[in-house]
Amino acid sequence: MTASTIPSPDSGDQPEVRKGLAGVVADVTAISKVDPETNSLLYRGYPVQDLAATQPFEAVAWLLWHGDLPTADELAGLRAVEREHRALTDDVRAAIDLLPTSAHPMDELRTAVSVIGAREVAGLSALEAAADPDETVARSARLFGALPAVVAYGQRRRRGLELVEPRDDLDFSANFLWMTFGTEPAPVVVDAFNRSMILYAEHSFNASTFTARVVTSTLSDVHSAVVAAIGALKGPLHGGANEAVMDTFAEIGSADAVPGWLDDALASKRKIMGFGHRVYKRGDSRVPTMKAALDTLVEHYGRADLAALYDALEAEFVERKGIYPNLDYPSGPAYHLMDFDTPTFTPLFVAARVTGWTAHVAEQQAANALIRPLSRYVGPERREVPTAAES
């Protein structure tokens, strides 16, 4: 919209307000295609379920940033950068240690990214710090390498355990689990975790990605965009729902308690976390793949009771409301079975989504326009400030 087409507040024109920007196409993207009609999700043209079945997460990170799957040399190069940044640095550890152990892990992670970002661009003006898309991708690869140690250390700190140093012989997913638990993870767990990372990596103009693009559009830098995106993802209507799913399961207790619990929840108009989606109205394209990964974990850990609760809530809620699970529904219990603490689930989402966010930051930088929508004013008409005598 050019300045001349902006409706004047006095003209009587009433521009349509799309609450929540629902249905608004805000820009183009070549990174992912979310298609609710075919219930599909493509990353740079590749079906996400095929990537999850065949690729290590590092290769998908490369794909999102560069547009194609990496050659063997490119993958080795990214892995070298990722490994170089795996260890928790002293400044980040000191910043985390300043926070109470009762701080939410998303707040820890947000703080850590702030510290890393300040270090990355120290000495640069704000304009210099913004950088170009290539430098943004380079910084993003370093950040991608650094985040697992923050998540792992946070959980260990809350459990009163010592830091575990990274291992160079493990890939991203296996090393993430190693640093968190200090034991060699079973292949079935690594595989489920790797799939979850790939499924969580990217989803077009969701709220946190759009937040990152808004920040980028002012010519701010990639770490500032990621800090803001972490704030957006924390909310239970978005990434925070994976934690909320597990809280719901804990509240319900067992499969046979589902109908009564749901009667009460719906009577009090509660939102059932892990269900519903702004774009998908007939089911989330990623759920079957994540549910299959969850099934392997249920089998591995012998937790048929959890699977029964999962199935019972899904069946009952879909039958009553016709609203389907989103990705947070299977990933919450999957992370629970892996022994992550519930508040750590959304930071795991961040460790994955940082790849998508930063790919969008680079895309926004390459064809930038300041993001600044309009609002329709509904407050009082112009009035006079009372004089001292009148007030």
Ligand X SMILES: O=C([O-])CC(=O)C(=O)O
Ligand Y SMILES: CC(=O)SCCNC(=O)CCNC(=O)[C@H](O)C(C)(C)COP(=O)(O)OP(=O)(O)OC[C@H]1O[C@@H](n2cnc3c(N)ncnc32)[C@H](O)[C@@H]1OP(=O)(O)O
Report how many residues bind ligand X under the rule CB under 6 A. Answer: 7
Cα-based distances in Å from 266 to 76, 123, 195, 252, 320? 51, 54, 33, 14, 10
Pick what 274 binds: ligand X, ligand Y, none; C-beta below 5 to 8 Å, kind-dependent: ligand Y
Nearer to ligand X, 326 or 355 (CB): 326
Please report whether residue 282 would count as binding ligand Y according to CB under 6 A: no
Q: Choose the stretch contacting ligand X; rule: CB under 6 A; options: 47-55, 215-223, 275-283, 333-341.
A: 275-283
Closest residue by Cα to residue 352 from 173, 96, 221: 173
Please report whether residue 93 would count as binding ligand X according to CB under 6 A: no
Phi, psi of 43 (to 5 degrees): -105, 115
**Options 85, 223, 277, 360, the catalytic residue:** 277
Please report whether residue 140 would count as binding ligand X according to CB under 6 A: no
To the query of whether residue 66 is one of the catalytic residues in this protein, the response is no
Q: Which residue is nearest to ligand X (CB)?
A: 206
Please report whether residue 274 would count as binding ligand Y according to CB under 6 A: yes
To the query of whether residue 203 is one of the catalytic residues in this protein, the response is no
CA contacts within 13 A on the Cβ side of 121? 24
Please report whether residue 206 would count as binding ligand X according to CB under 6 A: yes
Please report whether residue 276 would count as binding ligand Y according to CB under 6 A: yes
Integer Cα distance of 27 and 29 in angstroms:
7
Residues 294-353 that bind ligand Y (CB under 6 A): 323, 326-328
**Options 203, 238, 336, 360, the catalytic residue:** 238
Pick what 272 binds: ligand X, ligand Y, none; C-beta below 5 to 8 Å, kind-dependent: ligand Y
CB of 310 to ligand X, least distance (A): 19
Nearer to ligand X, 85 or 234 (CB): 234
Q: Choose the stretch contacting ligand Y; rule: CB under 6 A; options: 55-63, 169-177, 211-219, 267-275.
A: 267-275
To the query of whether residue 91 is one of the catalytic residues in this protein, the response is no
CA dihedral for 52, 56, 62, 63, sign (positive or negative): negative
Sheet of 40-43, strand order: 32-35, 40-43, 46-47
CB of 33 to ligand X, least distance (A): 12
Please report whether residue 203 would count as binding ligand X according to CB under 6 A: yes
Please report whether residue 303 would count as binding ligand X according to CB under 6 A: no
Please report whether residue 279 would count as binding ligand X according to CB under 6 A: yes
**Options 191, 328, 336, 360, the catalytic residue:** 328
Please report whether residue 21 would count as binding ligand X according to CB under 6 A: no
Q: Which residues are part of the catalytic machinery?
A: 238, 277, 328
Interface residues toward ligand X, by CB under 6 A: 203, 206, 277-279, 326-327
Interface residues toward ligand Y, by CB under 6 A: 20, 237-239, 241, 271-278, 323, 326-328
